């Protein structure tokens, strides 16, 4: 097989044959609209804070005001252990995962689309909060997004599993502040094993190639004795 064939998604669906039976992810149930608004505001703070160091802002006053809000929230929300249990109810972690979760301020967020060709695709522009080399996306952020997206591509291809092995080639710098196209697709399946590939492009330029091996597996769900999650659909 030629190297470029390893990174061709166009025949992903054909390659999967009869086993390509997309399992659409149901729409995320809406939450209290004010909850989503809170996270939108937190993301604005995240992006603004990346530029504070050289600003003219009176930072002492800002720190005091943010501290008041943080104290108010901390005194009223469940602790991390309780939250780990409740976040598996309803939409599961689809609302809280660090890549696309509307409740997670560190999620850029990334919105994914399942394509007829068997791949999953997303276009996202990342800002300075995700910087690694000057003006470029941190390599770990690229890895985070693709790993998560491979899980969705597996789901879209009728597969599931946990990442057992994952490798990336960073082919050229991945720019901040420009639209990036992420694409992932199931490359090969064998029993419990799914090999999934992914790419990031800036325009026509290839930035990252990734390969992952996923193994069918399950883990216990916090707070639900006897229940295990297969990481099949992003929630259960
Ligand atoms: C929808 C949203 C999705 C989000 C997706 C996010 C994806 C993730 O980040 S998952 C989190 C990161 N991954 C993990 O934490 C996994 C931790 N690892 C594990 O739990 C285990 O190693 C697990 C379950 C993957 C495999 O364990 P186990 O089932 O015992 O596998 P095991 O029986 O040893 O091996 C099965 C086969 O896989 C192969 N294999 C196992 N691990 C590897 C590996 N790292 N590299 C290559 N091959 C491997 C074995 O050689 C064996 O092959 P064969 O059957 O041909 O002999």
- From the options 1.10.3720.10, 2.40.50.320, 3.40.50.720, 3.10.129.10, give the CATH code of 12-229: 3.10.129.10
pLDDT of residue 203: 97
pLDDT of residue 162: 94
Tell me how far the alpha carbon of residue 214 lies from the centroid of ligand 1, in angstroms.
Answer: 6
Q: Please give the structure tokens belonging to residue 211.
A: 């390969």
Nearest CA to ligand 1 atom 13: 163
Find out whether 194 and 202 touch, Cβ atoms under 8 Å.
Answer: no
Domain boundaries, the chain: 12-229
Nearest one of 201, 189, 124 to 153, comparing CA atoms:
189
Enter the pTM of the model.
Answer: 0.90
Tell me how far the alpha carbon of residue 165 lies from the centroid of ligand 1, in angstroms.
Answer: 7
Find out whether 12 and 119 touch, Cβ atoms under 8 Å.
Answer: yes
- Asked whether 115 lines ligand 1 (CB < 6 A), one says no
- Asked whether 163 lines ligand 1 (CB < 6 A), one says yes
Residues of the chain with pLDDT under 50: 1-2, 233-236
How confident is the model over 97-122, as pLDDT tens digits?
899 988 899 999 999 998 888 899 99
pLDDT of residue 3: 52
């Amino acid at each position: 097989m030629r190297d470029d064939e390893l990174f061709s998604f166009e025949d992903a669906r054909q390659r999967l044959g009869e086993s390509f039976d997309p399992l659409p992810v149901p729409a995320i149930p809406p939450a209290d609209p004010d909850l989503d608004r809170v996270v939108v505001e937190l993301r604005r703070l995240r992006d603004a804070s990346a530029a504070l160091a050289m600003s003219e802002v009176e930072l002492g006053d800002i720190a005091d005001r943010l501290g008041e809000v943080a104290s108010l929230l901390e005194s009223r929300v469940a602790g991390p252990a309780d939250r780990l249990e409740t976040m598996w109810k309803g939409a599961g972690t689809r609302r809280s995962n660090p890549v696309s979760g509307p409740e997670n301020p560190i999620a850029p967020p990334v919105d994914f689309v399942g394509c007829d060709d068997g791949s999953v695709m997303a276009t996202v522009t990342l800002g300075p909060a995700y910087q690694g080399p000057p003006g470029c996306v941190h390599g770990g952020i690229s890895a985070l997004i693709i790993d998560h997206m491979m899980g969705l591509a597996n789901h879209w291809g009728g597969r599931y599993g946990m990442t057992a092995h994952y490798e990336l080639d960073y082919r050229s710098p991945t720019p901040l502040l420009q639209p990036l196209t992420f694409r992932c697709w199931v490359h090969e399946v064998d029993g419990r094993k799914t090999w999934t590939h992914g790419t990031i492009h800036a325009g026509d330029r290839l930035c990252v190639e990734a390969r992952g091996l996923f193994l069918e597996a399950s883990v216990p769900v916090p707070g639900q004795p006897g229940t295990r999650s297969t990481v099949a659909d992003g929630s259960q």
